[in-house]
Each structure stands twice: as structure tokens, then as C-alpha cells.
Structure 1
Amino acid sequence: MSYFLRGAGALAVTPPGRDLRIDALRGLALLIIFINHMPGNVVSAAMPHNFGFSDAADIFVLLAGVSATLAYGSVLDRRGLAIGALRIGGRIWTLYIAHIAVFVIVCGVVARAVTRTQNPLYIEAINIQPFFNDTLSALVDALTLTYQPHYLDILPLYIVLLAAFPLIYRAVRISPALTLLASVLVWQVAVFFHLNLPNTGAAGWFFNPFAWQLVFTIGVVIGRGLQLGVAVPRSALITAAAIGFLVFSALVKVSTGNPFGLAFLNDWIDSLQLGSDKTNLAWVRVLHLAALAWLFIRLVPRDSAMVQGRVGRSLAVMGRHSLEVFCAGIVLAIIGQIILAETYFALGVQLLVCVGGVTILVGLGNFLSWYQSIALHGSAGKPAPALPASVPRS
């Protein structure tokens, strides 16, 4: 409790060993995001967003906050704001270049598809009409992050959140509770006054940074707790409430009507089944994510077989190279959408595209780890040392 009130800001921080749970969960989120970015495929029906109010995007942004704290928090503590800002600025530049590169590649992929198939609907599906209607203006808007086609809105969010990280981290060091309260206030003020950043051809950023900073801040609070070795309180009441809320959300999402038979809940249940507000971060998304985070931290220890086994290690390898795998996943998902549409969503093709994409992404993660070991040690036989976790988005 003292951590949430005072933040233990004066304590010296010794960076903990790498937590494979973070890498494995991030790797899993990458695969889910890849599948979800190909709407209409049969595998997406089994993805978590069909059984709860939050999805992989919420988990990814939460982990972004955790990872930013573990990667840069100790740098800010030991070497000050100037050096920390330089490190963070370098990462932001990398994210920015990656975003622009993916933007150009996706435009090229869609242009090629339209040329080959004579189907202009692919341009509308990805929302890159501005690029073809007024290329120069669209490029300028893309460079200033004020134009974001569909599926290319996660890295801009992370860039903005990472730029705000030093301020959020300093506040968390003083008082996590007050920081969370301020974050909630910013979120609700943005929702009430419809505050968002501009996005060409849309009402604003799909991931409103003024709202999604709350998820990132929760991640920073969790990351700071990991830094300090804060033990999670054993509360049967909170655990039962978390389980109850997850069961409630699953019942609502899988039911075709009101599963509780209470007439006064009909309109609310209908709105939840249609989908919770993702742009401005509906309350139920936050509560669902908080319940998932609590149960994961309480029930999955650092040395859990879930993350130490073969599948967990494969996911962790992907998670350690999240930016590269994420960017590749975006491009593969766009290609997958085109293939599925051209084959009329044949079941076999759906399964082949999903399995093939997952295989490529897992293979990419393993290749990058092998290459990293070669670059650092000059020999594939020597393992690479643990590096600070770093997440892109969304």
C-alpha cells in the first residue's frame, strides 16, 4: 500500500532479471493482432476480443508501459533526465522510421494488388484513398502523423506515449495513486470535451492518446512495482471480483441477447455486445484489462511452466523483437486480406494464411535472436545477454 501512496521514489533501483512473462505475453499479443488484422477469417472467431471487452491492443499498450519502465526507468534514475531523454528519443526515432517504412510498403502492396486485380476496393479497405488522390499532401500528413491508414495507427500512439514517459515515470515515483488519478482525469476530460489528435479523413486518431495514456500509465505503475520488487497483495476478494467480471464479460459477448433476463439491463447489454468504445477507451475495457492483469500477475509466477516451456520460449523470442515482428505482421496481414478476398474466403486458404503468417513471424523472431547472438558475440553458440524489454504498440 505504501508503494501506491508514496511510490518509493527515493529507493535505489536495481534492475530485475528479465521477466519472460512480459516477453511471452507480448509475443502472444503480436500473433493475436496479426490474426485480428485479417477480419472475416475463421481463426479470428477464437480470438480473445470475442470473449471479453478488451483485446490484444489493450494488453500491448499496457506492456508498453511496463517495458518502457524497465528499459528506461533505471536510466532516468541513475543518469538523469538528459541522458534518459536521449535514449528515449533514439527509440522514438526508430519507431518513427519503422512507421513510415511500413506505410510506404503497405501503399505499395495495395497499389500492386489493385493493378493486378483491377479491384479498387482494396484502397478503401485500408483507407489509403488520400495517398492516391493527393500523394504529396498525404505524404506530408503521414510524416507528421496526421494521416494514419487503417492498421497503421499503433506505432504513432506508442511514439506519443513514449515521449510522455519521462513525465509519467517521475509522477509515478512520487505517488502511483495520484498519478493514476490524474491519468483518469485526463482521460475523462478528453472524452467529455471530445479531445483527440487530427487524422486526415477521420474524426481523429483511432487510438485517442488522451484516453489510451491511462493504459500506458497503468503499465508504468506495474513496471515500477517490478523494479522495486513490490509483492502483489494476496486478496481473495479482488481475485474473486476479477474472475467474476471476466465471467460476466464472456457471458455478455457470447450471448445473442441479455443472458441475465433483467429487462432494465437490455439496452446496456446490447451496447456492450455491439462493442465497447475503443477509440476513447470505454470503462468496461479498462476494468476487463485490470482484471486480466491482476489474475496474470497473481496466478502466473516468473518461473511458470507456461513461459518456460517450448511454446512460451517461442513467444518470448518474438516478444524480444516486438518492433520487427509487429511491422512484419502488419504487412503480412494486409497481404493476407487480399489473398482471402481473392479466394472468396475459402476455408482452406484461411487456415493456410493464418498458419503461414504465424510461422513466418515465429521464424522471424528466432532468426533475429540468432542474428543478435552473432552480432554480439561473433558465434551462434554463445547466448545473447538479456536486453531491456522494449515495445512498439499496439
Structure 2
Amino acid sequence: MTQALSRFLFLGRGPEGAPPAAQRDARIDVIRGLALLIIFINHMPGNVIAGYMPHNFGFSDAADAFVLLAGVSATLAYGNLIERRGLAVGALKIGARVWTLYIAHIAVFIIVCGVVAAAVTRTQNPLYVEAINIQPFFSDTFEALIDVLTLRYQPSYLDILPLYIVLLALFPVIYLAVRISPLGTLLVSLAIWQAALWLGLNFTNVHAAGWFFNPFAWQVVFTLGVILGCATQRGIAAPRLPWLDALAVAFLVCAYVAKTSSGNPIGIALLNDWFDSVQLGSDKTNQAWSRLLHVAALAWLAMRWLPAGEGMLRHAVGRTLAVVGRHSLDVFCTGTVLAITGQIILAETGFALGPQLLVSAVGITLLVGLGMFLTWYQSITLSGAADASAASRRASAQPH
């Protein structure tokens, strides 16, 4: 297995030969479902539960995991399609998905504007307009609307979908490069990231310094996900490397100590500024090295020690999270609206503990319920389509 992984990393695979179809791995859905619920909690600042979320105990957070899994999922969905039907068909399918993401982003923006407008009208508190940087839409609606449609204006908490739109649009190029040389593609991706940092490159956000998630930086996490997805395509599991397991665990422990300590825990003066910076939060816009290494360590341990295939569906928690993760776009959009609504409710109740717990519990229940409903609805529509197809085949087989 180690030899197969080594050949894959250094040589990749040329255009000949399609990879075998990979079994759906429940780990993707479970971890993505957990990430979506964590994002919902984190999007309500001042919520006491947010203090126990993973970003307080390490360098990366749910957004890093979400983008990494986006790369894996895109590979398993569209990479396999490209292999079976060709690049043109795959690009058309990706284009349709990008359009869906774009429409979803615009819809969420409009709904959030409505929620904020309703809150301001009922509470007579104009500060809600400023809380998520949405005041440009109300002060100059026409210009702001144009900027929204061109993704040049992104209020707070409405910036992940634009990043995913850009990354998914780039997927065919990244995927074809990974097919040729995964390691070479990763090195180029890292070089683009560092060059962008050196040159100060970012996409334009007319009401901020740039996109909160700099695509030039975050493409590294997505590319890493594509590489992992390609390995999964070819049935390459993580090799047994105890030393790498130990190194990953050691890094996570060091991250925990650095993040939870006050000041410099090891007393080396040269590291004072670094400890101060990571305790405040590793650079999220430009994807700090500490974040990338942290999410890579987590991904490695997940591949090594979490049960593959449907192993994580044996328990109710795993099945519940998987239901949420399978409908990531619907759950994310709904969670964003619920989180903005939750922010307003928490502010109106003075951030009392009871409302914080209630809002979090209700929100998570609604998101899980949405996932369950969509899974049920999908099952009856698919079964109905299958029955209709079977009936059509039987009718066509009848003599005329």
C-alpha cells in the first residue's frame, strides 16, 4: 500500500484508464455534518457554546475541514464523471453546480437582508445593520446589489459560498493536474499561495480589505482535498506509518497547548509574538501555515483511525451527522439564516445563558430535521422515478 501511494504521489496517472468506482465513505458525510453544525454555532458570537468549539483548542476550525472535504467530494462526484463521460460533460455538470451555488448565495443574502430589516423595524435598533456589514445594501441599494451579483461585496458570514464557487470552477484544472502529478500539483498550489501572500493578492471586496477567505490561499486546502479524493478513487488507503501518526498527534497536542495557554508556555523569547498571534487566532484570510498543518494532521488521523466505508453509521450520532452532511448546501444556507436570526435573539435577550442554550438547541434540531426531511424526500422521489422507469420499460416490452 505504501508503494502504491508513493507511485500515486510522484507519478499520478495519465489519461489512459479510468479509476475503479469508490464506495461511498460515510466519514465524509459525518465529518462534514459535524462541521456544518459547528459553523452554525460559531456564527453566533457571544454564544457560550462557541467557547467549546474546536477552534479554541487548535489552529484550524470547521471551515478548513469543510473546504478540504469539498475537494474530496468534488473529486468523487465530478472526477468520476470526467473519467466516464469526458471533460466536456464534466465541465457542464460543474457549471450547473456553480450556478446553483451562485443562486443559493444570492438568495441567502436577500433573506438575511430581510431578517435584519425586520429586526431593525421591530426593535428600532439600527446597529443590527452594522453588525454583519450589511449597511451598504441599505444606504446605496443599487450599487450594493451590483457588487453582490458580481461577488465584490460579501457581508460577514456570507463569504464561504463565494469561495466555493471559485474553487469549484477551478476544479477541472486542478483535477487534470492531479491526474498527471499529485505532488507536482501540490507544490504549484503551495507556490501560488506563497506568491499571493508576498504580492498581497486577493479578490476585491469593495467594503473590506479583500475576500475574507482569500481564494489564492484557500485553494491549497481544496487542492489537498482533491489529492485525497483521487487517492480514494483508486482505492489507496492511508499506509500504516506509526511515526507519522505520532507526529500528527504531537502536533495537535502542541497546538492545543499553544492555543489554550496564556502567553508563551515554553519561555523562548523569539516565539513570544508567534504565541500571541495564534492565541488570538491564526490568519484565516490567508490560511496560515499553522492552520494548514493542523487540518492536514486531523485529516491524516481521520483516514488512519476512523472506520472507512459505512463503519461510522453503526451509531445514532454518526447516522445523524451523516444525514446533515449529505445535504450540505441546504443545511449551510439554512444554518446561515438561523445563525443571523440567533445573533439578534441573543442580543435582544442580553446574552442570557438560557436563551443561548435554547437558540443553539433549536437551531441544531432544525438543521438535523432538515437533513432528515431531505433524505426522506430524496428517497421517495428516487424510488418514484425508479418505479416509473421500470413501468416504462415494461410497457415498451409489451407487443403492439
TM-score (norm 2): 0.93
* CA distance, structure 1, for counterparts of residue 237 and residue 369 of structure 2: 36
* CA distance, structure 2, for counterparts of residue 116 and residue 200 of structure 1: 30
Any conservation in 1 of the 2:71–2:224 contact (CA below 8 Å)? yes
Q: Structure 1 residue 311: deviation in Å? A: 0.7
Q: 1:77 is matched with which residue?
A: 83
Correspondence for 2:12 among 4, 7, 10: 7
Matches within 5 A, 1:213-292: 213-292=219-298
Correspondence for 2:141 among 121, 131, 135: 135
Q: 2:397 is matched with which residue?
A: none
Deviations 1:185-207 (A, max 9, x none): 00001111010111121011000
Q: 1:150 aligned to 2:170?
A: no
Matches within 5 A, 1:144-223: 144-223=150-229
Deviations 1:106-135 (A, max 9, x none): 000001101111111111111011100100
Which amino acid in structure 2 is aligned with residue 59 of structure 1? Answer: A
Q: Unaligned 5+ residue runs, structure 2?
A: 1-5, 386-400
Q: 2:393 is matched with which residue?
A: none
Which amino acid in structure 1 is aligned with residue 9 of structure 2? Answer: F
Correspondence for 2:345 among 339, 342, 352: 339
Further displaced range: 67-76 or 8-17: 8-17
* CA distance, structure 1, for counterparts of residue 237 and residue 28 of structure 2: 17
Correspondence for 2:365 among 359, 362, 372: 359
Q: 1:370 aligned to 2:346?
A: no
Any conservation in 1 of the 2:26–2:311 contact (CA below 8 Å)? no
Secondary structure in 1 matching 2:287: coil
Any conservation in 1 of the 2:26–2:310 contact (CA below 8 Å)? no
Q: 1:54 is matched with which residue?
A: 60
Correspondence for 1:113 among 113, 119, 141: 119
Runs of 4+ in 1 over 3 A off after TM superposition: 303-307
Q: 1:300 is matched with which residue?
A: 306
* CA distance, structure 1, for counterparts of residue 302 and residue 51 of structure 2: 23
* CA distance, structure 1, for counterparts of residue 323 and residue 270 of structure 2: 48
* CA distance, structure 2, for counterparts of residue 226 and residue 168 of structure 1: 16
* CA distance, structure 2, for counterparts of residue 15 and residue 28 of structure 1: 26
Q: 2:394 is matched with which residue?
A: none
Which amino acid in structure 2 is aligned with residue 25 of structure 1? Answer: I
* CA distance, structure 2, for counterparts of residue 176 and residue 330 of structure 1: 34
Deviations 1:159-212 (A, max 9, x none): 000000000000000000000000000000111101011112101100000100
* CA distance, structure 1, for counterparts of residue 88 and residue 18 of structure 2: 19
Which amino acid in structure 1 is aligned with residue 374 of structure 2? Answer: L
Q: Structure 1 residue 14: deviation in Å? A: 2.1
Provide the alpha-carbon RMSD of the alignment.
Answer: 1.5
Correspondence for 1:94 among 100, 117, 129: 100
Which amino acid in structure 2 is aligned with residue 77 of structure 1? Answer: E
Q: Structure 1 residue 305: deviation in Å? A: 5.2
TM-score (norm 1): 0.94
Q: Structure 1 residue 231: deviation in Å? A: 2.5
Q: Structure 1 residue 8: deviation in Å? A: 2.6
Correspondence for 1:33 among 28, 39, 50: 39
Deviations 1:141-163 (A, max 9, x none): 11111110000000000000000
Which amino acid in structure 2 is aligned with residue 317 of structure 1? Answer: V
* CA distance, structure 2, for counterparts of residue 306 and residue 85 of structure 1: 32
* CA distance, structure 1, for counterparts of residue 151 and residue 272 of structure 2: 40
* CA distance, structure 2, for counterparts of residue 147 and residue 124 of structure 1: 14
Any conservation in 1 of the 2:19–2:234 contact (CA below 8 Å)? yes
* CA distance, structure 2, for counterparts of residue 270 and residue 109 of structure 1: 37
Q: Unaligned 5+ residue runs, structure 1?
A: 380-394
Deviations 1:197-241 (A, max 9, x none): 111210110000010000000000000000000131211121111
Deviations 1:278-317 (A, max 9, x none): 0001000001011000011001121575443111011111
Which amino acid in structure 2 is aligned with residue 8 of structure 1? Answer: R
Q: 1:391 is matched with which residue?
A: none
Q: Structure 1 residue 78: deviation in Å? A: 1.8
Q: Structure 1 residue 264: deviation in Å? A: 2.8
Secondary structure in 1 matching 2:64: helix
* CA distance, structure 2, for counterparts of residue 24 and residue 63 of structure 1: 11
Further displaced range: 99-108 or 250-259: 250-259
Further displaced range: 77-86 or 41-50: 77-86
**Structure exhibiting the larger radius of gyration computed from Cα positions:** 2
* CA distance, structure 1, for counterparts of residue 9 and residue 334 of structure 2: 38
